Every structure is written in structure tokens, then in C-alpha cells.
Chains A and B, each alone.
Chain A
Amino acid sequence: RKEVEQDPGPFNVPEGATVAFNCTYSNSASQSFFWYRQDCRKEPKLLMSVYSSGNEDGRFTAQLNRASQYISLLIRDSKLSDSATYLCVVRERGYNKLIFGAGTRLAVHP
């Protein structure tokens, strides 16, 4: 079983749509959680951290369910510029190491 699993997509949505991505992780000792965004043939960039209480940054909302070992990212009012691959990332307790999912690809069309 992969340490971090994501639906690879692609998710093809029209502008203005709401889209949700899910991610599961296998290690219950995982401590920190993140969503990174990676544009085609570019480096990943941090989108947002994910906190236990859930957190929002503009049109983006992240949720964490530790009991189910499940992380989600909701994007409201999708823009063309949201087209990218979204990487779910987990850090285990006591390690510098980040574990990346393979990513979910989003394509927003006019």
C-alpha cells in the first residue's frame, strides 16, 4: 500500500465549478499535512498547510480527519489558472522527511 494515496484524475471542470480532492495516508503517526501545487513541468510550491480544525485560504479549504487518516482540498469558483497537479504531502513525527502523493490533476476549462 502506498504511504500517501490520491486519485490521479484528471478532473475536468468548467470555470466556476467547485471541485474536491481526497487523499489518504497510511501512517497513523503522521504529524503534519500539506497541499502543494505543481504546474506542468515545474517545481512543486506550497499551497497550504492542513490543520486539524480545518482551514481556509480564499477559495481553498483544507480538512483533516485523523481518525480516518484522510485529507481533503476543496476549491470553490474554479479559475483557469487553477489548472495544475495538486500534491498531498505528509510529514511523519520526528522526521524531516516529507512523503508526497503522486498528485491529482485538475483541468479547468472555459
Chain B
Amino acid sequence: GQQLNQSPQSMFIQEGEDVSMNCTSSSIFNTWLWYKQEPGEGPVLLIALYKAGELTSNGRLTAQFGITRKDSFLNISASIPSDVGIYFCAGHFVGANAGKSTFGDGTTLTVKP
């Protein structure tokens, strides 16, 4: 089945630093999604990408849908303590399989004040 490789697995950064994480896939996806999960909660959607090459921002977050449709990255600028959490990438297809997302293993972000 599809595999998503997400890196890095974890990051320890100082408040104010920029962060970059990425996902690569063995398959082509129609949609790339980035979620953030905090302890005891479900993943919360941060950014959705629908077209190859698309670059989308949400506040301090920027994500891109790779041209090959097999990769995506997420950047967080000027990190703050509340950015702490686990960030997941996910991909899905259109059509009847749209309800089945494949997830990366997550990037655990720790921000030191």
C-alpha cells in the first residue's frame, strides 16, 4: 500500500526559529494535508493543498504541494511555545477513495522559550 515518509521524526528548537518538515510518498496523491495534534486531542487541520505546485499560507505556516505530486513540505516561521505538538502530513485520492487518508508518522515539535 501507500507509504508516507515524514521527516524529521522530532525537532527541538528555540522560540523564534523557523521550522521545516517534509513528506515524501511512493505514490501520487491528489490532495496533501497537514494536521497538528496536541496531547489528548484529535488532529486539527492546518493546511490543505489541492494542486501540484500549490503554495498556501495560514498565518506563520506555509505548505507546498510538490510538482511531482509525491511530496509536500510545511514551514513554520518564528516559532512560539504554542506550536508544540505533533505535525502529520496526509495524502488522499479523489473519487471513492477520498475518505481514506494515508498518514505520515508525524514530526514531534518541541519549542524552548
A interacts with B? no
